Amino acid sequence: MLNQQYLVIDYGTTHIKGMLVSDSFGTISILRTEMLPLVDITGEDEYEYNLVRFIQSFFPEEKNFILNLPTDKVIIRDIVIPLEKENAVWQALPFAVESLLPYPIETVSVKGSIWKKEEDNTSLVTFSSHHNDIVQTVLPLKRTDTQLKSVYTDLYSLAAIIKQHHINIDEM
């Protein structure tokens, strides 16, 4: 698709923020930003209430979303896999992190960000989340005409920055 528009949503601790973005021929433009304070409610799902309230208040016509997975639903591990080739690292990732998780690997989604490559070793930051937590996070967006473009965590984004800019962790 040559021109795509999507809403990036960040559900914070005090506010929910959104940024409407247009991606046209690889050029990303911010079309609009909005912010709304979270409302404490009792007897209902506060997360769902606030998310739906935000979308209906500012972006009711939007159907494509990028959503942050809350950090309390993500298990983060720093691991070293004794492999060099990136393809092999990605294939070994679930098995390498399995013993570090409190859930069976079949019930978890695992992503990683390589931050250091050495001879015979690859260092990664891994991000794992239980399938139920992912479903609960995206459930308020489940409409027949909705497309969830992706689910991220802030920490995954930060790890990608470390990789992209080759920041030496030891110097930080």
Residue 61 DSSP symbol: T
More confident residue, 81 or 67: 81
pLDDT-derived band at 155 (thresholds 50, 70, 90) equals low
Domain map (residue ranges) of the chain:
3-69+131-152, 72-129
136 vs 150: CA distance, rounded Å: 15
Count Cβ atoms within 10 A of the Cβ of residue 50 and give its class: 0-12 exposed, 13-18 middle, 19 or more buried.
Answer: buried
150 contacts 66 by C-beta, under 8 angstroms: yes
Mean pLDDT of the chain: 83
The predicted model scores a pTM of: 0.71
Q: Residue 165: what pLDDT?
A: 44
The CATH class that applies to domain 3-69+131-152 reads alpha beta
Residues 71-98 have a mean pLDDT of 93
Please state which architecture CATH assigns to domain 72-129: 2-Layer Sandwich (3.30)
Which tokens go with 115? Answer: 């931050």
Cα Rg of the chain, angstroms? 18
pLDDT of res. 162: 45
Give the residue-averaged pLDDT of 138-165: 61
pLDDT surpassing 90 at residue 123: yes
Q: What value does the mean pLDDT take over residues 5-25? A: 88
* Cα dihedral 33, 37, 39, 40 sign: positive
